[in-house]
């Protein structure tokens, strides 16, 4: 694949069928639960992406058996005594899940990864583990991190949940395996609530219930079931295709995501409707047809679908009035600073942007964006969102297009369907 990758404008009124990769978020949760289950688990619909490879490598290092064939994987629960080291590449979700899981091991778990992962914050989660009795070595909560679990973890801790929902999801996933269960007191305002709903929903599918009270959550000692489970399509990946249909007045049919999902980014469909798109929702499918004339969004709170925020940013320059996005605080601590970096790339295309600590206002561009080679900052979502912008920017290209492999290895093959 060339780098930079030229982006050709799509054909007029395209009509495209898309099968999404399996949800990375759901797959990582299911893999984590499979490692703690009472019996082997077979998962269908495993996406092909770097984050999943990092989790598979970690599960093997922890003593689990893994058999894979295409999009199917079978996990045999296992456990290695003694100290282990896990290299998690660039997978921030795997990092938080496995930090929490290390509290269940009375030996030492050392975690490292790509230099980009070393910049991701973890201190609030590590503080919660120390309250459970873990011994921790780190530099300001960043990698490399060493965690030695107690012989008998406490059954209660407290957790700050304002930075990322991944801290709470990680603790919830491992909580059923604590000898006395676990109660987590939530110390501040929870962000990205939709991802917690995904976590508790997937846990329920494996026979584990979570009790949610005002200011706390409790998980009693329980056992994850094994068996066969299917991973639905990735709603975050779907937003780029929804955006292409909306922006260009084309039609996209998605075959493996529908109304039954609990993924927060499914809510992006509602934003497309506000912009004038027509949407048909089925239990397991979507059809979206873009409008002849885009309608304004004006004000959008992205707190429950932060991974879709950059997709809105890519469409916003073509809307008839300024678009103000808020609820973006978590974007500052992703693979890159997704507020600052996206603002830089929009300005490269001559788009006017007002940047705030947790918000952004993007102004309409009157004469069309200036062609540019967009930087991606080793961030898969930068590349995919900027491809939407570039599709409306003649002569544009995407630098380092291969970074999409982190979550959507087949993205450019699917994107080529629009040409």
Sorted by where each starts, the structural domains of the chain and their CATH numbers stand as 5-21+232-418 (3.65.10.10), 24-213 (3.65.10.10)
Q: For 263-303, what is each residue's pLDDT tens digit?
A: 999 999 999 999 999 999 999 999 999 999 999 999 999 99
In this prediction, the residues of the chain whose per-residue pLDDT falls under 70 are none
| Catalytic (active site) residue 51 | no
Angle between helices 193-205 and 166-174 (to 10 degrees): 20
CA distance 22 to 27: 7
Cis, bond preceding 42 (omega within 30 deg of 0): no
CB 42 within 8 A of CB 227: yes
What integer pLDDT is reported at residue 368 of this predicted model? 84
Task: Tell me the pLDDT tens digit for each residue of 110-131.
Answer: 999 999 999 999 999 999 999 9
Question: Which residues on neighbouring strands pair with residue 186, listed in sequence order?
Answer: 159
Give the orientation angle of helix 380-390 with respect to helix 338-348, to 10 degrees: 30
What pLDDT, on a 0 to 100 scale, did the predictor assign at position 131? Answer: 98
Cα atoms found within 13 Å of the Cα of residue 88, Cβ hemisphere only: 26
Q: What is the pLDDT of residue 1?
A: 84
Burial class (CB in 10 A: 0-12, 13-18, 19+), 72: middle
Q: What are φ and ψ of residue 148, in 5° steps?
A: -115, 115
Alpha-carbon gap, residue 256 to 237, rounded angstroms:
12
- Among 91, 81, 101, which residue's Cα sits nearest to residue 47? 91
Burial degree of 67 (CB within 10 A; 0-12, 13-18, 19+): exposed
Question: What pLDDT, on a 0 to 100 scale, did the predictor assign at position 188?
Answer: 83
Neighbour tally for 376: CB within 10 Å:
26
| CA gap 151, 266 in Å, rounded | 42
From the candidates 51, 124, 307, 379, give the one annotated as an active-site residue. Answer: 307
Residues facing 165 on adjacent strands: none
What whole-number distance in Å separates Cα of residue 52 and Cα of residue 380? 14
Distance between CA atoms of residues 34 and 225, nearest Å: 8
Q: Which of 251, 253, 249, 281 is nearest to 267 (CA)?
A: 281
Model confidence, pTM: 0.90
Distance from C-alpha of 26 to C-alpha of 34, rounded to nearest angstrom: 12
Q: What's the pLDDT at 15? A: 98
Q: What is the pLDDT of residue 189?
A: 80
Tell which phi-psi region holds residue 381, choosing left (phi > 0), alpha (psi between -120 and 50) or beta.
alpha
Give residue 96's region: left, alpha or beta (phi > 0; psi -120 to 50).
alpha
Tokens read off for 4: 């930079």
């Amino acid at each position: 694949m060339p780098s930079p990758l030229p982006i050709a404008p799509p054909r007029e009124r395209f009509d495209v069928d898309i099968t999404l990769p399996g949800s990375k978020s759901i797959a990582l949760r299911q893999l984590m639960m499979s490692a703690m289950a009472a019996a082997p688990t077979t998962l269908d619909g495993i996406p092909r992406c770097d984050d999943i490879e990092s989790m598979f490598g970690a599960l093997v290092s922890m003593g689990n058996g893994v058999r894979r064939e295409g999009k199917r994987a079978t996990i045999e629960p296992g456990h290695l005594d003694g100290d282990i080291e896990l290299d998690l590449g660039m997978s921030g979700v795997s990092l938080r899940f496995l930090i929490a899981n290390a509290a269940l091991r009375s030996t030492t778990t050392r975690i490292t990864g790509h230099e980009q992962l070393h910049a991701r914050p973890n201190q609030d989660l590590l503080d919660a583990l120390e309250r459970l009795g873990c011994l921790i070595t780190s530099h300001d909560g960043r990698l490399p991190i060493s965690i030695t679990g107690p012989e008998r973890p406490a059954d209660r801790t407290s957790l700050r949940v304002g930075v990322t929902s991944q801290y709470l999801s990680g603790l919830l996933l491992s909580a059923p395996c604590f000898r006395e269960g676990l109660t987590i007191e939530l110390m501040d305002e929870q962000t990205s609530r939709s991802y917690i709903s995904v976590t508790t929903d997937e846990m329920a599918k494996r026979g584990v219930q979570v009790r949610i009270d005002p200011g706390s959550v409790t998980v009693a000692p329980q056992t994850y079931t094994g068996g066969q489970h299917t991973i639905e399509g990735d709603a975050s990946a779907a937003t780029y295709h929804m955006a292409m249909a909306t922006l260009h007045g084309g039609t996209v049919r998605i075959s493996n995501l529908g109304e039954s999902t609990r993924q927060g980014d499914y809510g992006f469909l509602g934003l497309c409707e506000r912009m004038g798109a027509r949407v048909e929702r089925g239990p397991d499918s979507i059809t979206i047809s873009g409008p002849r004339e885009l309608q304004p969004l004006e004000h959008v709170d992205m707190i429950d679908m932060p991974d879709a925020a950059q997709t809105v940013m890519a469409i916003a320059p073509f809307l008839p009035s300024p678009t103000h996005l808020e609820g973006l605080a978590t974007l500052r601590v992703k693979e890159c600073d997704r507020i600052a970096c996206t603002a830089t790339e929009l300005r490269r295309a001559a788009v006017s942007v007002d940047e705030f600590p947790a918000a952004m206002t993007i102004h309409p561009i009157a004469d069309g964006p200036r062609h540019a080679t967009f930087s991606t900052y080793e961030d898969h979502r930068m590349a995919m969102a900027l491809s939407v912008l570039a599709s409306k920017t003649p002569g544009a290209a995407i630098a380092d297009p291969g970074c999409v492999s982190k979550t959507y290895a087949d993205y450019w093959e699917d994107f080529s369907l629009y040409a």
